């Protein structure tokens, strides 16, 4: 018989069935269930419970009903819980009440359902009043049950219950729920029952077992609710895992002012600071805190009112953090002074907190540096380098009265957008209107998540740092401010106001999730400095150290045994400087052609192109030489000590010429107007431009082909490179120029051009009487070059994969046309899993690369290999580059930090397995002896019992 149910003390059994790893236990009994089992084992006070497995949920989804044996096992487990608590389910004298809680392998906060206070009926309620003498508490609990049962189990909209409560309070002149008396709540129980009768045509079940059965089924069903499915799609959680169900004895936080309920994070989930952050409410239950409907108390204030419970709670939280080696997100309830723990899990956090906690925990010795690096994702790093509001602009905005409110800084970052007051609108406008939206609500509910994800920022007027809006925003890295209570939101009129200032739907605001400040209008943003982010700098240094380890790649791989280096693509000295400050240790691609486009140079370039003799060309080029030399000079200086790869001219020449149609128009106008001055020159220019026309220029006269037809250009460029390098060397700068020839298709091209260029290099060094390291190499971007790499490597001292062109030519797609016309359809239809221009197609393009590397290194074992296409900044592609033996990846300066982390992740993931040393004999004997001692001790204890 399948075991569907695990009792609170059956953690061992769960481990055995799941097969050892804690991850497998989580898969079987869910994250919440595993935490409850683990806490119980550790002696933490947890209300007795049992857990129905995810397997039962999956079986239910298949069968459409409970699998055989499940209900019997639930009843049996319930008996055990009754025994443990001394209460009985459905017994009017001393009734056991339970919650029925969802809990999947990965936490999906608020996405699935939970019902509290199951077991209350008219009869047991009366019994509990007698028992506790606290009628207000009993009827508050009962009305919660009827409401939750109605909405969660029976699918009646929340509003149907909120409405009568609202009206009742209004009639009585109450503002707060706390003003409701026992009698009032008893009235609400009847009102809510009437709602169910009216909506469903039957009565709220008075049989506790029926309640339990239907609630279990509702939790199973909530796995496939819209909210849950949306959330899984957004987070990439598999749809086949299923949820577990936890049936747990109720702990009552609503028994009076000596009772409370709350949630807390063992460290600050927003900043990462090592200080607990939590909120609680006296005399409240369950989701009151998270729902953000009442103003919460800070956890520190619990110390004065309930010092004993507070101390115990702090100790437990610290212990849990140590045990799980991570920040914990815990739920607790205090019932008449007694603390109960209801949940623990690794808490969600912002990117900033992720980095800070990882570094702090490594420095505290809680985790290793490698683990710290593994905990941070490339997306986290990306988020940290995202724009933030400009400080000056913020001051100006404050002066001019644009600062309208301050709330709780729940999730950091700058968001500028147009406001929308509901999730559907926010999503619709973001998607269809293609605009930046900010979702504004009094508070959010799980049904609002789609609108939040679609928005650039979220603002609420109610709730605290652990409210739903805050938790979800942090998880998705959306800037968010909550509890900005100065803002009054009018959902009917679709506007919000702070005093006189009114902001209507569709108008712009700026939300600063880092400080909690709200501004009207748009505030300009700037890119944050990386140097000021101390923890991030430390973490990336650790990442570099991982890649620099001598044997992080096994010796059987082709090429280097160290990990990847990260270089950058930079054309200008200022880009190179940024790249260097972001940690790049080389320039993998400097494009030289834009240097020809500068306004004062372009006429000379055109003159050079139009010259009909080699002499004419050379004379124009000689005038370009000094400016080119200066460009390179700055680059070498910025990259002092590091290699700089300069690519010789690549695009077809027509790109430097005036547009053909425009020229024609000008000529025609001149003729019509009868202007003769300059007409002949224009006509000649038009003829030349026409003559340059190619039907497929990207596959035409460009790259090395152009250099062979017109070698003067690259000869000038090589002279400029080496003169600059020589000058820099004389100034004490260490230069490592590498000259890259683009678009090679056959080694014969290199045979033709490379010796000419090398002669120039030698000549310059002779003239300047100086020597320095340099290399000549080739781009690998044409499939034929990759296939014949063994030949190409005869000349090329380095390869650099130009994966944009290599992908275009391997697939036979022109990128612009593909992305515009059919790539999306291909992805939707599953023909392509990913866009191959963003992530390397390992099976095709990637395999060509792999072949090229191994063939190239057959000819030249120390061949230096890199990648300079956009893929060089993509984590998945970086992993592939690591696996096939690249020396480095080169990407845009802004992505360098991301690439450094991704390179370390790849290195750690693929590090060679070191065979474990066999335990030395002596030690082994000692271990056995120690085990025996423990066994004996255990036996002794057992006997005593
Ligand atoms: P979620 O996964 O959405 O957080 P939970 O199952 O944790 O849902 O329950 C929602 C709320 O109800 C939480 O605040 C939780 O602490 C509270 N709760 C659940 N079970 C009990 C219980 N047995 N006693 C007291 N409070 C409970
Ligand atoms: Mg819930
Ligand atoms: Mg919970």
Beta carbons of 609 and 685 less than 8 angstroms apart: no
Beta bridge partners of 50: 7, 247
* Residue range 335-372, pLDDT digits in tens: 999 999 999 999 999 899 999 999 999 999 999 999 99
Residue 105 φ then ψ, to 5°: -60, -50
Per-residue CA distances from 737 to 643, 644, 650, 690, 752 (Å): 6, 5, 18, 37, 21
Q: How far, in Å, are 333, 345, 753, 813, 933 from residue 324 at the CA level?
A: 21, 9, 62, 49, 28
Give the whole-angstrom CA distance, residue 254 versus residue 233: 36
Q: Which of 19, 42, 7 is nearest to 328 (CA)?
A: 42
Percent over 90 (pLDDT), the chain: 76
Q: Is the pLDDT of residue 556 over 70?
A: no
- For residue 29, CA distances in Å to 246, 747, 759 come to 9, 61, 72
Q: Which of helix, strand or coil describes residue 547?
A: helix
SS3 for 854-884 is HHHHHHCCCCEEEECCHHHHCHHHHHHHHHH
Tell me what percent of the residues of the chain surpass a pLDDT of 70: 96
Our answer to whether residue 871 is catalytic in this structure is no
Answer yes or no: is the C-beta of 101 below 6 A from any ligand 1 atom: yes
Predicted confidence (pLDDT) at residue 901 exceeds the cutoff of 80: yes
- If you take atom 13 of ligand 1, which residue's CA is the nearest one? 286
CA 680 to chain centre: 61
| For the chain, counts of helices (H) and of strands (E) | 39, 33
Could you say which of 868, 882, 891, 905 is catalytic? 868
Contact criterion met (CB below 8 Å) for 341 and 331: yes
Residue with tokens 């559907």: 424
Active site residue 468: yes
Model confidence over 514-526: pLDDT tens digits?
A: 889 999 999 998 8
Tell me the C-alpha distance between 41 and 51, whole Å: 15
Residue 937 has pLDDT above 60, yes or no: no
**pLDDT at 943 > cutoff 60:** no
Instruction: With H, G, I as helix, E, B as strand and everything else as coil, classify residue 393.
Output: helix
Interatomic CA distance for residues 135 and 827, integer angstroms: 60
The per-residue pLDDT for 920 is 54
CA of 343 to the centre of ligand 3 (A): 6
- Asked if pLDDT for residue 729 goes beyond 80, the answer is yes
Q: How confident is the model at residue 299 (pLDDT cuts 50, 70, 90)?
A: very high
**What is the per-residue pLDDT for 944?**
44
Q: Confirm or reject: Cβ of 468 under 6 Å from ligand 1.
A: no
Token couple for 901: 């982390």
CA of 285 to the centre of ligand 1 (A): 9
CA 102 to ligand 1: nearest atom? 6
- Identify the nearest ligand to the CA of 103 by its number: 1
Strand intervals (E) in 9-128: 49-52, 88-89, 95-96, 98-104, 114-118
Nearest to 250 by CA among 115, 420, 388: 115
The pair of three-digit structure tokens given for residue 443, joined into one six-digit string: 């508070």
Q: Please state the atom number of ligand 1 nearest to the C-alpha of residue 249.
A: 23
Pocket test for ligand 1, best of 331, 346, 447, 475 (most atoms within 8 A of CB): 331
Asked whether 100 lines ligand 1 (CB < 6 A), one says no
In the predicted model, is pLDDT for residue 293 greater than 90? no
Q: Return the pLDDT at 557.
A: 63
What is the Cα–Cα distance from 899 to 879, expressed in whole angstroms?
Answer: 10
Please report which ligand is nearest the Cα atom of 331.
Answer: 1
Q: What is the pLDDT of residues 403-423, one digit of tens each?
A: 999 999 888 889 999 999 999
Q: What pTM did the predictor assign?
A: 0.83
Is 442 close to ligand 1, i.e. is its CB under 6 Å away? no
Q: What are the structure tokens assigned to 77, written together?
A: 């487990």
Region of 553 (left: φ > 0; alpha: ψ -120 to 50; beta: rest) is beta
Ligand 1 and 446: CB distance under 6 A: no
342 lines ligand 1 (CB under 6 A): yes
To the nearest whole number, what is the mean pLDDT of the chain? Answer: 92
Residue 235 — very low, low, confident or very high, per pLDDT cuts 50/70/90?
A: confident
Closest ligand relative to 290 C-alpha: 1
251 lines ligand 1 (CB under 6 A): yes
472 within ligand 1 shell (Cβ under 6 A): no
Ligand 1 atom closest to Cα of 111?
A: 3
Mean pLDDT of the 903-914 span: 93
How many whole angstroms from 151 Cα to the centroid of ligand 2? 12
The single residue of 450, 468, 654, 905 carrying the catalytic annotation is 468
pLDDT band, very low/low/confident/very high, at 945 (cuts 50, 70, 90): very low
Token pair of 699 as six digits: 């596959």
Determine the atom of ligand 1 nearest the C-alpha atom of 103: 2
812: left (phi over 0), alpha (psi -120 to 50) or beta: left
Backbone angles phi, psi at 483, to 5 degrees: 60, 35
- What are 578's two structure tokens? 């940024």
Residue identifier of the C-alpha nearest atom 27 of ligand 1 = 286
Query: 848: Cβ below 6 Å to ligand 1?
Result: no
Q: Tell me the CA–centroid distance for residue 319 and ligand 3, in Å.
A: 19
Strand order of the β-sheet with 5-7 is 5-7, 49-52, 243-249, 98-104, 114-118
- What's 842's DSSP letter? I
- 222 CB less than 6 Å from ligand 1? no
Closest to 460 (Cα-Cα) out of 493, 491, 428, 484:
484
- State which ligand 1 atom lies nearest to the alpha carbon of 47: 23
Ligand nearest to C-alpha 107 = 1
Res 941: pLDDT? 47
Taking CA atoms, 462 is separated from 261, 294, 470, 495, in Å, by 19, 8, 11, 16
CB of 649 closer than 8 Å to CB of 593: yes
Evaluate the CA torsion angle 133, 139, 141, 146 in order and state its sign: positive
Cα separation of the two ends of the chain: 32
Helix axis angle, 70-85 to 208-222, nearest 10°? 120
**Helices marked H in 602-711 — which ranges?**
602-610, 614-638, 660-673, 679-691, 703-709
Size of the chain in residues: 945
3-state helix, strand, coil in the chain (%, to 5): 50, 15, 30
Half-sphere exposure of 409 toward its Cβ, with a 13 Å CA cutoff? Answer: 14
Task: Write out the E strands in 732-861.
Answer: 736-741, 775-780, 798-801
Nearest ligand 1 atom, CA 248? 23
Tens of pLDDT, residues 210-230: 999 999 999 999 999 888 998
In this predicted structure, the answer to whether residue 659 has a pLDDT above a threshold of 90 is no
Res 915: pLDDT:
66
Contact (Cβ atoms closer than 8 angstroms) between residue 328 and residue 344: yes
CA-to-CA separations, 794 to 15, 648, 736, 756, in angstroms, rounded: 59, 19, 21, 16
Q: Is 117 in the pocket of ligand 1 (CB under 6 A)?
A: no
The residue nearest atom 22 of ligand 1, judged by CA position, is 250
Q: Are 621 and 713 in contact (CB under 8 A)?
A: yes
Q: Please, which residues bridge with residue 96 across strands?
A: 89
- CA–CA dist 793, 857 (Å, integer): 8
Read off the pLDDT of each residue in 389-407 and give the average, rounded to a whole number.
91
């Amino acid at each position: 018989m399948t075991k569907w149910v695990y009792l609170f003390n059956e953690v061992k059994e769960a481990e055995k069935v799941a097969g050892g790893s804690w991850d497998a236990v989580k898969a079987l009994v869910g994250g919440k269930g595993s935490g409850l089992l683990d806490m119980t084992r550790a002696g933490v006070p947890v209300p007795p419970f049992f857990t129905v497995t995810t397997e039962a949920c999956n079986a239910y989804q298949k069968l459409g009903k409970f699998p055989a044996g499940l209900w019997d096992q639930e009843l049996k487990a319930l008996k055990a819980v009754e025994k443990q608590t001394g209460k009985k389910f459905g017994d009017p004298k001393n009734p056991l009440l339970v919650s029925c809680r969802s809990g999947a392998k990965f936490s999906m906060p608020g996405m699935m359902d939970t019902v509290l206070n199951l077991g209350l009926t008219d009869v047991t309620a009366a019994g509990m009043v007698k028992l506790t003498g606290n009628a207000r508490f009993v009827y508050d609990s009962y009305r919660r049950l009827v409401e939750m049962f109605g909405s969660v189990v029976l699918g009646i909209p929340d509003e149907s219950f909120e409405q009568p409560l609202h009206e009742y309070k209004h009639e009585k002149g109450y503002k707060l729920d706390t003003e409701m008396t026992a009698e009032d709540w008893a009235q609400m129980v009847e009102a809510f029952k009437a709602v169910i009768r009216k909506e469903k045509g039957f009565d709220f079940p008075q049989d506790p077992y029926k309640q339990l059965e239907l609630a279990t089924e509702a939790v199973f069903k909530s796995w496939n609710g819209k909210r849950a499915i949306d959330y899984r799609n957004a987070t990439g959680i598999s749809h086949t895992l299923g949820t577990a169900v936890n049936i747990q004895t109720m702990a009552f936080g609503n028994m009076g002012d000596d009772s409370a309920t709350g949630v807390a994070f063992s460290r600050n989930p927003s900043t990462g600071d090592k200080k607990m952050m939590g909120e609680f409410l006296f005399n409240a239950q369950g989701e009151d805190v998270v729902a953000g409907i009442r103003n919460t108390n800070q956890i520190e204030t619990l110390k004065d009112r309930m010092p004993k419970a507070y101390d115990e709670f702090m100790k437990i939280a610290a212990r849990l953090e140590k045990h799980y080696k991570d920040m914990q997100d815990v739920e607790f309830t205090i019932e008449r002074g007694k603390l109960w723990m209801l949940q623990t899990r690794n808490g969600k956090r912002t990117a900033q907190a992720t980095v800070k906690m990882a570094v702090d925990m490594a420095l505290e010795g809680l985790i290793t540096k490698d683990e710290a690096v593994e905990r941070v994702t490339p997306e986290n790093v990306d988020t940290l380098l995202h724009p933030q509001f400009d400080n000056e602009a913020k001051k100006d905005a404050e002066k001019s009265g644009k600062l309208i409110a301050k709330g709780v800084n729940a999730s950091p970052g700058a968001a500028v957008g147009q406001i929308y007051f509901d999730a559907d609108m926010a999503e619709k406008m973001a998607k269809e209107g293609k605009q930046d939206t900010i979702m504004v609500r009094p508070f959010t509910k799980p049904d609002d998540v789609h609108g939040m994800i679609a928005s650039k920022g979220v603002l609420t007027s109610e709730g605290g740092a652990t409210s739903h809006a805050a938790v979800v925003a942090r998880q998705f890295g959306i800037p968010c401010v909550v509890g900005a209570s100065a803002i009054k939101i009018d959902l009917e009129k679709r506007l919000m106001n702070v005093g006189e200032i009114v902001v209507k739907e569709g108008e712009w605001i700026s939300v600063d999730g880092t400080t909690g400040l709200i501004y009207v209008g748009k505030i300009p943003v700037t890119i944050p400095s990386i140097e000021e982010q101390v923890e991030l700098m430390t973490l990336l240094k650790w990442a570099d150290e991982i890649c620099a380890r001598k044997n992080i790649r096994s010796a059987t791989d082709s090429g280097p045994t160290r990990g990847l280096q990260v270089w950058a693509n930079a054309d200008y000295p200022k880009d190179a400087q940024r790249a260097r400050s972001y940690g790049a240790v080389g320039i993998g691609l400097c494009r030289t052609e834009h240097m020809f486009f500068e306004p004062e140079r372009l006429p000379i370039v055109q003159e050079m192109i139009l010259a009909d003799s080699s002499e004419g060309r050379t004379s124009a080029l000689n005038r370009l030489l000094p400016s080119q030399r200066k460009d390179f000079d700055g680059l070498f200086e910025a990259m002092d000590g590091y290699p700089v790869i300069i690519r010789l001219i690549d695009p077809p020449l027509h790109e430097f010429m005036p547009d053909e149609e425009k020229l024609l128009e000008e000529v025609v106008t001149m003729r019509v107007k009868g202007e003769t001055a300059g007409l002949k020159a224009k006509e000649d220019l038009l003829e030349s431009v026409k003559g340059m026309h190619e039907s497929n220029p990207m596959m035409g006269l460009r790259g090395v082909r152009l250099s062979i037809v017109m070698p003067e250009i690259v000869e000038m460029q090589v002279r400029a490179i080496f003169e600059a390098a020589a000058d820099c060397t004389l100034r004490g700068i260490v230069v490592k120029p590498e000259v890259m020839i683009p678009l090679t298709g056959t080694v014969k091209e290199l045979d033709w051009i490379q010796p000419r260029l090398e002669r120039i290099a030698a000549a310059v060094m002779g003239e300047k009487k100086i020597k320095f390291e340099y290399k000549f190499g080739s781009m690998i971007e044409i499939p034929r070059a990759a296939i014949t790499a063994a030949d190409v490597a005869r000349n090329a001292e380095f390869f650099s994969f130009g994966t944009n062109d290599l992908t275009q030519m391997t697939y036979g797609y022109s990128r612009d046309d593909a992305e515009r016309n059919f790539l999306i359809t291909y992805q939707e239809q599953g023909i392509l899993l990913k866009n191959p221009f963003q992530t390397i197609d390992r099976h095709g393009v990637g395999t060509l690369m792999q072949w090229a590397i191994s063939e190239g290194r057959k000819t030249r074992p120390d061949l230096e290999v890199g990648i300079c296409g956009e893929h060089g900044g993509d984590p998945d592609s970086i992993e592939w580059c690591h696996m096939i033996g690249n020396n480095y990846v080169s990407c845009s300066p802004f992505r360098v930090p991301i690439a450094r982390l991704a390179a370390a992740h790849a290195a750690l993931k693929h590090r060679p397995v070191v065979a474990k040393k066999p335990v030395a004999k002596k030690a082994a004997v000692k271990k056995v002896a120690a085990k025996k001692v423990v066994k004996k001790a255990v036996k002794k204890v057992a006997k005593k019992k």
